[in-house]
């Protein structure tokens, strides 16, 4: 007999009234097919609360203490199905039903004393996927029952695309890693040095594996992003991308189960149409990826510049001018990095240490004049750099954070005095108007020799030098009005960016969740073909996500927890 926890049961009765409701026997049958790896799920912090999904519950102090300790740690969140890095995607924002702790102080008891815990956006059932057969069983189940499903790897998504639905496929435990110096894509006749990465593997594991194998993998600026998940399928930028390309440029092969229930090996030689779609058309659209294989580089040393000072109302503009005035030259020299009004952490594999020091001298001088700090040094590998600089500087998690961004074309913003001034003015306006800092990423494939037509990301990537983004944090207990006000700030800033660079685009993974005209912004001319391929590989529309190719639109029941922010999407 199939057992449902009391809280889950009460919740299900309420929630699925208008959706498909498989019988308990059918769920139990799925559970048997997936080897007992079907689980029910409550929100991460449920053990702290005395009311869960409207039903009295006995808190578990031991478990609650563990959640408090891990609340803002990516490694803790990454291994818990019901945790997402941006906790608003654990909640139902439109109904303000949530189960969150105070991210500023996770031990603050008012979080659970003053609030009830609600299931929010957490799927009540998930499969801990460990094989291709698990995925085939789940696809067949949703096809037959009409249950909505989602796919989660790390829970890094900024748009809620790994949340919602009544069944989720949790990919985290597909953790295989292998390296071949002579990888041959199936059906192909060319060899590459390549790493093959299971769908759940976080970048921190990829990087230490690469170090052990004396190779370099080009990847993201965070420990727990899943390399083969949402990162690569939608673009995947790295601060090594200026030379070595985006994730989509480097991927050689995917193993995927498409939503017509077929297991496929996809590369330039077989299923090339789908390969193109998976090189930018984004995740959770065409199927469930089991692994990807990516081109690797030899082990390389890096010149690193790390500069920071205390930001004031008076000193930000001068530093931003230095960044804008130098970035074209820095791009030509092979630098990539993350920068802001009072900091930068940039890397360069091409220059000597002396050349690197000379290259960034104006930024160093500026910071030192502000009594800041500056280091320009040589490190032996990406892993050494990552451990020393990134793990302490990467974007925080466990805090409700909204993102907005845009790709900034090289011409005229880095090539022309008026363009440069307009760009500096925009960034200063963000700081002055909303106290929001630009988060600049020099991570576009600026020097990379791209072969036209091989990827489906917006072509704006190919003529841009920067992505400018920004973060807007929401308090864990923000009211609906406050949330709307904060999204309005995000919309205002992104609209300034669109006005500055109307013909550019944005990175699907890191854009404003309410970006208007999203098909053009994220995919440009590639959208029509992507939509044809969506129809081909997901003929029954089993998979849907917010603003994904061929989605059902904001009015669909699946999106009832998103806010009613009227833009033209």
Ligand X SMILES: Cc1cc2nc3c(=O)[nH]c(=O)nc-3n(C[C@H](O)[C@H](O)[C@H](O)COP(=O)(O)OP(=O)(O)OC[C@H]3O[C@@H](n4cnc5c(N)ncnc54)[C@H](O)[C@@H]3O)c2cc1C
Provide the binding-site residues for ligand NAG, judged by CB under 6 A.
2-3, 31, 36, 38-40, 60, 62-63, 102, 108, 110, 139-140, 143, 189-190, 214, 243, 260-261, 298-299, 310, 318, 321-322, 325, 370-372, 417, 420, 447-449, 475, 477, 479, 485, 488-489, 492, 540
Cis status, amide bond into 13, omega within 30 of 0: no
Q: Tokens 């969740």 correspond to what residue? A: 513
CA atoms of 286 and 520, how far apart (whole Å): 19
Contact string 158-187 vs ligand X (x = CB under 6 A): x--xx--------x----------------
CB of 4 to ligand X, least distance (A): 25
Q: Is 389 in the site for ligand X (CB under 6 A)?
A: no
Candidates 16-24, 30-38, 214-222, 485-493 — which segment interacts with ligand X by CB under 6 A? 214-222
3 state DSSP class of 67: helix
Residues 334-373 that bind ligand X (CB under 6 A): none
By C-beta, is 94 or 492 nearer to ligand NAG? 492
> Cα separation of 169 and 149, whole Å?
8
Contact segment (CB under 6 A) with ligand X among 227-235, 378-386, 429-437, 481-489 equals 227-235
Instruction: Kindly state the tokens that stand for 447.
Output: 């020097």
Residue 180, phi then psi, degrees to nearest 5: -135, 130
Among 395, 531, 563, 565, binds ligand X (CB under 6 A): 395
Residue 504, judged by CB atoms within 10 A of its CB (0-12, 13-18, 19+), counts as buried
Interface residue with ligand X among 83, 139, 147, 226 (CB under 6 A) is: 226
The pair of structure tokens assigned to 33 is 């097919």
Shortest distance (Å) from residue 527 CB to ligand NAG: 25
The site partner of 289 among ligand X, ligand NAG, none (C-beta below 5 to 8 Å per kind) is ligand X
Query: Residue 373 is encoded by which pair of tokens?
Result: 């700090």
Distance CA(306)–CA(345), nearest Å, equals 4
Contact call for residue 254 and ligand X (CB under 6 A): no
Distances (CA, A) of 384 to 193, 210, 375, 380, 504: 21, 11, 15, 6, 35
Q: Which residue has the tokens 């194998």?
A: 213
Contact between 402 and ligand X (CB under 6 A)?
Answer: no
In the DSSP assignment, the letter for residue 230 is I
- C-alpha 104 chain-centroid distance: 22
Would you count residue 33 as binding ligand X (CB under 6 A)? Answer: no
- Select the residue interacting with ligand X from 103, 150, 293, 348 (CB under 6 A): 150
Of 233-241, 318-326, 431-439, 559-567, the segment contacting ligand X by CB under 6 A is 233-241
**Two tokens, residue 389:** 């600089």
Residue by residue, DSSP assigns 73-93 as -HHHHHT-TT--SSGGGGSBT
Q: How far is the CB of 448 from ligand NAG (least distance, A)?
A: 6
- How far the first Cα of the chain sits from its last, in Å, is 45
State how far the Cα of 454 lies from the Cα of 563, in Å rounded to an integer.
36
Task: Give which of ligand NAG, ligand X, none residue 298 binds (C-beta under 5 to 8 Å, depending on kind).
Answer: ligand NAG
459 binds ligand X (CB under 6 A): no
Residue of closest CB approach to ligand NAG: 261
Q: Which CB, 322 or 561, lies closer to ligand X?
A: 561
Tokens of 51: 């009311």
User: Which one of ligand NAG, ligand X, none interacts with residue 483, CB within 5 to 8 A by kind?
Assistant: none
Does 85 bind ligand X (CB under 6 A)? Our answer is yes
Cβ nearer to ligand X, comparing 152 with 250: 152
153 contributes a contact to ligand X by CB under 6 A: yes
Cα Rg of the chain, angstroms = 23
Q: What angle do CA 261, 267, 268 make, to 5 degrees?
A: 135
CB of residue 309 vs ligand NAG: minimum separation in angstroms?
6
Of 342 and 547, nearer to ligand NAG (C-beta) is 342
- DSSP per-residue string spanning 29-43: HHHHHTTT-EEE---
The residue among 223 and 284 lying less far from ligand NAG, judged by its C-beta, is: 284
The residues of the shown chain that bind ligand X, judged by CB under 6 A, are 85, 150-158, 161-162, 171, 199, 220-222, 225-226, 229-231, 235-237, 283-284, 288-289, 395, 397, 509-510, 545
């Amino acid at each position: 007999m199939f057992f449902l926890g009391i809280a889950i049961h009460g919740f299900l009765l309420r929630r699925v009234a208008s959706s498909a409701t498989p019988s308990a026997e059918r769920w139990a049958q799925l559970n048997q097919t997936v080897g007992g790896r079907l689980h029910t799920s409550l929100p991460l912090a449920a053990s702290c609360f005395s009311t869960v999904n409207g039903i009295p519950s006995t808190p578990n102090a031991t478990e609650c203490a563990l959640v408090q300790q891990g609340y803002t740690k990516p490694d803790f969140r990454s291994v818990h199905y019901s945790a997402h890095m941006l906790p608003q995607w654990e909640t139902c924002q439109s109904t303000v039903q949530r189960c969150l702790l105070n991210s500023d102080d996770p031990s603050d008891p008012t979080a659970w004393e003053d609030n009830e815990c609600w299931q929010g956006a957490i799927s009540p059932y998930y499969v801990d996927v460990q094989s291709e057969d698990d995925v085939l069983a789940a696809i067949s189940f949703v096809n037959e029952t009409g249950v909505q499903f989602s796919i989660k790897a790390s829970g890094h998504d900024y748009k809620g695309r790994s949340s919602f639905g009544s069944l989720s496929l949790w990919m985290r435990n597909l953790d295989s890693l292998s390296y071949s110096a002579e990888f041959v894509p199936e059906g192909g006749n060319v060899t590459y040095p390549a790493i093959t990465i299971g769908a759940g593997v976080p970048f921190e594991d990829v990087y230490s594996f690469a170090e052990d194998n004396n190779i370099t993998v080009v990847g993201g600026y965070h420990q727990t992003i899943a390399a083969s998940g949402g990162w690569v399928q939608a673009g995947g930028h790295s601060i090594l991308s200026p030379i070595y390309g985006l994730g989509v440029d480097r991927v050689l092969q995917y193993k995927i189960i498409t939503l017509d229930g077929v297991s496929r090996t996809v590369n330039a030689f077989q299923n090339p149409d789908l390969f193109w779609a998976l090189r930018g058309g984004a995740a959770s659209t065409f199927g469930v990826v089991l692994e990807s294989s990516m081109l690797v580089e030899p082990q390389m040393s890096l010149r690193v510049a790390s500069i920071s000072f205390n930001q004031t109302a008076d000193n930000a503009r001068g530093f931003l001018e230095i960044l804008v005035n130098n970035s074209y030259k820095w791009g030509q020299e092979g630098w990539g990095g993350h920068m802001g009004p009072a900091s930068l952490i940039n890397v360069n594999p091409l220059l000597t240490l002396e050349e690197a020091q000379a290259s960034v001298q104006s930024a160093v001088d500026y910071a030192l004049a502000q009594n800041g700090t500056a280091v320009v040094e040589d490190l032996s590998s990406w892993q050494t750099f990552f451990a020393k600089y990134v793990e302490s500087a990467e974007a925080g998690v466990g805090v409700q954070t909204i993102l907005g961004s845009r790709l900034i074309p090289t011409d005229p913003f880095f090539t022309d005095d008026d363009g440069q001034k307009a760009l500096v003015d925009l960034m200063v306006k963000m700081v002055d108007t909303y106290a929001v800092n630009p988060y600049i990423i020099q991570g576009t494939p600026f020097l990379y020799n791209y072969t036209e037509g091989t990827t489906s990301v917006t072509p704006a990537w190919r003529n841009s030098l920067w992505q400018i983004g920004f973060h807007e944090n929401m308090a864990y207990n923000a009211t609906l009005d406050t949330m709307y006000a904060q999204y309005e700030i995000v919309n205002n800033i992104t609209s300034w960016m669109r006005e500055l660079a109307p013909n550019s685009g944005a990175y699907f993974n890191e854009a404003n969740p309410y970006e208007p005209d999203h098909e053009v912004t994220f995919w440009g001319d590639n959208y029509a073909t992507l939509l044809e391929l969506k129809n081909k590989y997901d003929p029954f529309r089993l998979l849907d996500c917010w603003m994904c190719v061929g989605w059902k639109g904001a009015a669909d029941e699946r999106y009832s927890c998103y806010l009613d922010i009227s833009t033209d999407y």
